[in-house]
Structure 1
Amino acid sequence: MPKEKKNNVRWLWLALIALAFILGTAVRFYDLTDAPLDFHPTRQLHSALIARGMYYQTLEDAPTWQKDMALKQWKTEGLIEPQIMERLTAWGYQLLGSEQLWVARVWAILFWTLGGIFLCLLANELFGLAGSVLAVVYFLLWPYAVMSSRAFQPESLMVAAIIIGWWAAVRWLKQPTWWNVVRAGLLCGLAIYVKSVAVFFIAPALAGLLLTNFKFKDLLKNKQVWLLFVLAVSPYIAYHIFGVYIIKLLGEQFSLRFFPNLWIDPVFYLQWIGEIKSVVGLEVFLTGVIGLLVFAPKRWKGLLIGLLAGYFIYGFTFSYHISTHDYYQMPLLAITALGLGAVFQTLVDNLPKGNRRFSLAVIALVLASFMMLKAWDARVTLKKTDYHNETRFWEKLGDQLGHASHVEGLLTDYGYRLAYWGWVDVSPWMDTADINLRELAGNEVDLNAAFQEAVKGKDYFVITQMDELARQPELKQALDANFSLIEDTDEVIIYDLHVVEK
């Protein structure tokens, strides 16, 4: 192809990439200030309580009761992974001079966009510029990616860090300098530090990359490989030692996670496939798998096979969550995007030469139309929901109960809405899914003993999950038999735990 035509094609791909970033960023900022109840609110409000506690810790003029409550709620949430998103959000509150939950959404969007930039660079390194186009279009504008990447969770940061780690490893392999191996080790280590499950996507990928480019005996002698390994694992090891043995707050992070008994249950596999279908699209995922296994260049096939292997090891390790929690699939968006990039690059490279210009024009038009359609669909989805009345309900309920009250409850999102907007100390009563999970783990659940312990020292038992109450008739019988019902509406049921029913 003449140089001038190659330049024209390059500008076409760059224009499509730019359009993907413009549309992907714009739609994510739409409806920015609405409450974070559109995507796994339990997980988002967990982080919101932590960030609020961090912020109120710095305030000197806050009411004493609010400051005490914010700090208590923060500490009650415990420590799962390094609270990076929460700390950045609290810092944003300080800059603004007030608590604005949309700050967390901005951070999540920025991190996902950063991941998109490095995905583009990585796909270009692995396949070519055309491959990076479809990878970025999918990563930025696939419906689930739009919604999930706005959430106040560490996943946006983790996925971005994983992608950056992959990119750094590829750059090191292409140019094995000491600077590049240090950069690769630190960036891979950052991904694992952000959230430990990233190790499932970093370690197998690195293993595949190394084993397909080095002889095994040479790997053992390679000082740069050892440095890469040490730098990649050191940050999390240090954090784990600090969390488990020094401050002793990390001991419970892996409880109720490992369920190998599910591996022999056909329903587990059907549910897992269902999660893949809802998050990345089953047909799209299978196309991506074909791209990774068939169309990827030989030099990078080990890396890409490692990504798939890591995902499946991750899924079997966290079998309950991979089949029930859709956001556990978020790293798969990046893996699938790379597979699509491999397929697209192969398609473009093998277009008929006779009408290549027309073919490229059609492809560009289809991709641009797809991007605008997906961006509009996401905008419509966001416009449909308005949670302002929802937050006011919890504020009023908090005022009604009193901010000094201690509440047990069968509440929406485990009581996080009442805790956050109502400023109330809440302990959630188990729903049937929680009971089933504990039984699945082999734990005996004595509901009567658990109930007696739960109401001890509490002021109210509050119920907003009416369907769940109907599934626990023993709970309703215990409440009716022992305590006074003081409110019963379509929205909320309240028992006074001070007043014993005669």
Structure 2
Amino acid sequence: VTPVILYLIYGFQHGFFENETTGRFLPQLWLEPSYWRGWLRLLHDSVSFAGLIFGLLGLLAVQNKRFRYLLVGLWVGYVVYGLIFSFNISTHAYYQLPLIPIVGLSLGSLVPVIIDHLKQVNSNRLSHLMVYGILLSGVAFSVLLVLRGSNIETDFESEVQTAIEIGEEIDHNPNTLYLADAYGLPLIYHGELSGEFWPSVSDVEFTAYSGGLVQSVEERFTNNPIVDNPEYFVVTNFEEFARQPELEAYLNDNFPIIAETDDYIIYDLHTTNAITQNTGG
């Protein structure tokens, strides 16, 4: 613990943790239903409500005092962690990672209780073997699910080819706006283009909660801080695009589509040569 504490003190003293902490603690979200809904949704996606409930039951079943105090500390720490990182805990799935070992340790505490109870109910050796068989089958089934899950979409060749195709379509343009997965980083790399990522709904909400300036779609086009005169708008994240009807309407009303497939849409922003002409600037 001491090295971590010293590292944190050093980081805050020298200022390189400031960007990491700015806007992370947003206590006003505690009063927002969306915060709790988002946290519960991601919690369910990570360990399921059943895992959470049985994990809490396992906490009550711990016999060893020191281990119980350890688990209680971990559970309390997770809750405090979620309250401090209020925005991220409700929007970013990987912020649930600390919960997984906590639930695992808690569930493990239930196993001896179940086995002891079964021994009292039925001392037959065959019954014991059946119980162990069921437990091992459960572990094997879980491992199988993990292995199957790890094989899903491990081939990113199609995504790479899509990015290459987009890059060729817009001649690897350096002044491109894009709404894509992973903040557009795979698209930038494989498509050999550059520009600015168009903010997602979550990004806009974060800006609002942290006291930043929230701009309309038209204002973002005219006051773009990185791309002064964007030439193309690329959409590959259709789910996020559907969450922004104002953006979709603005693009469709003002700019032609030069390429559209099941994987992407490209809008040509050259129509008026400058965005400001289209917005009355």
Range of TM-score over shorter length: 0.7 to 0.9
- Identity percentage of aligned residues: 26
- Aligned equivalents of 1:466, 1:338: Cα separation in 2: 39
**Deviation of 1:256 (Å):** 3.1
Larger displacement relative to structure 2 (284-293 or 349-358): 349-358
Q: Is the 8 A contact 2:172 2:192 kept in 1?
A: yes
Q: Is the 8 A contact 2:256 2:271 kept in 1?
A: no
One of 172, 175, 196 as aligned partner of 1:406:
175
**Deviation of 1:392 (Å):** 0.8
**Correspondence 1:452 to 2:222:** yes
User: 1:462 is paired with a residue of what secondary structure?
Assistant: strand
**Deviation of 1:358 (Å):** 3.0
User: 2:119 is paired with a residue of what secondary structure?
Assistant: coil
- Aligned equivalents of 1:299, 1:384: Cα separation in 2: 41
Aligned AA for 2:267?
A: I
- Aligned equivalents of 2:119, 2:18: Cα separation in 1: 60
**Deviation of 1:297 (Å):** 1.1
In the other structure, the counterpart of 2:56 is 289
Question: Cα 1:358–1:232, aligned 2, differ >3 Å: closer, same or farther?
Answer: farther
Aligned AA for 1:430?
A: P
- Aligned equivalents of 2:131, 2:85: Cα separation in 1: 39
One of 179, 184, 187 as aligned partner of 1:415:
184
- Aligned equivalents of 1:419, 1:406: Cα separation in 2: 11
In the other structure, the counterpart of 1:318 is 85
RMSD: 3.0
- Aligned equivalents of 1:314, 1:424: Cα separation in 2: 38
**Deviation of 1:402 (Å):** 3.7
User: 1:405 is paired with a residue of what secondary structure?
Assistant: coil
In the other structure, the counterpart of 2:195 is 426
**Correspondence 1:236 to 2:31:** no
**Correspondence 1:374 to 2:142:** yes
Give TM-score, length-normalised by structure 2: 0.80
User: Within 5 A, what are the aligned runs for 1:307-386?
Assistant: 307-352=74-119, 355=123, 357-385=125-153, 386=155
Q: Is the 8 A contact 2:11 2:17 kept in 1?
A: no
One of 157, 163, 174 as aligned partner of 1:388:
157
- Aligned equivalents of 1:418, 1:492: Cα separation in 2: 13
In the other structure, the counterpart of 2:41 is 274
**Deviation of 1:445 (Å):** 1.3
Question: Cα 1:296–1:279, aligned 2, differ >3 Å: closer, same or farther?
Answer: farther
- Aligned equivalents of 2:239, 2:201: Cα separation in 1: 11
Question: Cα 1:268–1:463, aligned 2, differ >3 Å: closer, same or farther?
Answer: closer
Aligned AA for 1:408?
A: L
**Deviation of 1:337 (Å):** 0.9
User: 2:178 is paired with a residue of what secondary structure?
Assistant: strand
User: 1:424 is paired with a residue of what secondary structure?
Assistant: coil
Q: Is the 8 A contact 1:410 1:429 kept in 2?
A: yes
Q: Is the 8 A contact 1:408 1:427 kept in 2?
A: yes
- Aligned equivalents of 2:144, 2:70: Cα separation in 1: 35
- Aligned equivalents of 2:223, 2:129: Cα separation in 1: 68
Question: Cα 1:480–1:270, aligned 2, differ >3 Å: closer, same or farther?
Answer: closer
User: 1:389 is paired with a residue of what secondary structure?
Assistant: helix
User: Within 5 A, what are the aligned runs for 1:45-124?
Assistant: none
Q: Is the 8 A contact 1:405 1:460 kept in 2?
A: no
Question: Cα 1:259–1:416, aligned 2, differ >3 Å: closer, same or farther?
Answer: same
Aligned AA for 1:434?
A: D
Q: Is the 8 A contact 1:411 1:464 kept in 2?
A: yes
Would you tell me which structure has more helix in proportion to its own residues? Answer: 1
In the other structure, the counterpart of 1:500 is 273
Q: Is the 8 A contact 1:479 1:495 kept in 2?
A: no
User: 2:176 is paired with a residue of what secondary structure?
Assistant: strand
- Aligned equivalents of 1:426, 1:268: Cα separation in 2: 32
- Aligned equivalents of 1:432, 1:403: Cα separation in 2: 27
- Aligned equivalents of 2:104, 2:240: Cα separation in 1: 39
Deviations 1:256-290 (A, max 9, x none): 32221222234433332232222112122122112
Question: Cα 1:255–1:401, aligned 2, differ >3 Å: closer, same or farther?
Answer: farther
Q: Structure 2: state its 5+ residue gaps.
A: none
Q: Structure 1: state its 5+ residue gaps.
A: 1-187, 189-229
One of 237, 247, 250 as aligned partner of 1:477:
250
**Deviation of 1:240 (Å):** 4.2
Q: Is the 8 A contact 1:258 1:319 kept in 2?
A: yes
Deviations 1:202-227 (A, max 9, x none): xxxxxxxxxxxxxxxxxxxxxxxxxx
**Deviation of 1:307 (Å):** 0.7
User: 2:98 is paired with a residue of what secondary structure?
Assistant: helix
In the other structure, the counterpart of 1:435 is 204
**Correspondence 1:253 to 2:25:** no
**Deviation of 1:345 (Å):** 2.4
Aligned AA for 2:268?
A: Y
